[in-house]
């Protein structure tokens, strides 16, 4: 049907659904009127970056005005920022799995209540690269955890629930084809490793704690590379799992900084 699905029977029993961290709700806002024609959602960590992206899309789509005064739809909340440019929604998600997970739960419910169809969601962000040229763009085919496994593990009521992290392969190939029109940014498809921590979790030697040697770090990163990992960030497994379960055509592409 192309509809965005929620997998929660309890929502049907609720008189009102409040999207706390987006400052939106089913009684306070006409969500179908506000968002029913959204076709693309782009999410990224920084609110400033997502505002700049919305302004860029405003210009690219030739919308009225210069886009400089694009409004934050979530201005009543200081958790996330949301901007709109025609059929494109641009939303910040903060850093790490907990932050993006909260935003995605509420975003998916928003798209469901708005009766959106055939929505594509793309995570755009920065990452650390592995064995690739600085400035490259990595399009994720599969998000993997710190053991290089394609899974997202979450503890629910004391039990470990494991969910798949496969992303849309056709969308990845489509994005790769589009990237060939922009020769300034070398682009490749690869696996993205998602960690729970920026410092020790990613093998950095400059955190407040470091429990391993530089040799151990290099050996781990070599194993990651051999497992197909080409970049490292902190959101992709939760992103892939939630999008896949709720019928969103999802993809993650990261600009490699290091």
Residue that the structure tokens 């763009």 belong to: 137
Angle value at C-alpha 241, between 53 and 115, nearest 5 degrees: 65
Is residue 125 a known part of a binding site? yes
Is residue 228 a known part of a binding site? no
Is residue 128 a known part of a binding site? no
Angle value at C-alpha 43, between 131 and 236, nearest 5 degrees: 45
Is residue 182 a known part of a binding site? no
Q: How many residues does the chain have?
A: 258
CA distance 245 to 242: 5
Listing DSSP states for 196-253 in one string gives S-SSGGGT-SSSS---S-HHHHHHHHHHHHHTTEEEEESSHHHHHHHHHHTT-EEEEE
Is residue 124 a known part of a binding site? yes
Is residue 190 a known part of a binding site? no
CA distance 110 to 127: 28
Helix (H) or strand (E) holding 82: strand 82-85
Q: Are the C-beta atoms of 172 and 251 separated by less than 8 Å?
A: yes
Burial 4-32 (b: 16+ CB within 10 A, else e): bebeeeeeeeeeebebebbbbebeebebe
Is residue 131 a known part of a binding site? no
Burial 56-72 (b: 16+ CB within 10 A, else e): ebbeeeeeeeebeebeb
- Per the annotation, where are the binding residues for phosphate? 79, 123-126
- Per the annotation, where are the binding residues for substrate? 202, 204
- Per the annotation, where are the binding residues? 79, 123-126, 202, 204
């Amino acid at each position: 049907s192309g509809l965005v699905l929620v997998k929660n029977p309890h929502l049907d029993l609720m008189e009102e659904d409040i999207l706390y961290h987006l400052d939106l709700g089913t009684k306070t806002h006409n969500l179908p009127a506000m968002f029913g024609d959204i076709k693309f959602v782009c999410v990224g960590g920084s609110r400033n970056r997502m505002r700049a992206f919305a302004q860029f899309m405003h210009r690219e789509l030739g919308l009225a005005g210069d886009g400089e005064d694009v409004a934050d739809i979530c201005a009543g909340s200081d958790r996330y920022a949301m901007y709109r440019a025609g059929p494109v929604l641009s939303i910040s998600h903060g850093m790490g799995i907990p932050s993006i997970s909260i935003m995605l739960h509420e975003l998916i419910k928003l798209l469901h209540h708005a009766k959106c169809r055939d929505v594509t969601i793309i995570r755009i962000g920065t990452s650390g690269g592995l064995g690739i040229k600085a400035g490259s763009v990595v399009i994720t085919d599969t998000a993997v955890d710190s053991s290089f496994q394609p899974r997202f593990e979450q503890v629910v009521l004391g039990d470990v629930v494991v969910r798949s992290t496969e992303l849309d392969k056709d969308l990845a190939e489509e994005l790769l084809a589009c990237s060939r029109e922009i020769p300034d940014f070398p682009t490749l498809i690869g696996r993205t490793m998602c960690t729970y921590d920026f410092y020790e979790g990613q093998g950095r030697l400059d955190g407040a704690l470091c429990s391993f040697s530089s040799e151990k770090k290099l050996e781990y990163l070599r194993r990651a590379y051999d497992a197909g990992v080409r970049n490292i960030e902190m959101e992709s497994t939760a992103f892939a799992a939630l999008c896949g379960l709720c019928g969103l055509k999802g993809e993650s592409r990261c600009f490699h900084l290091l």
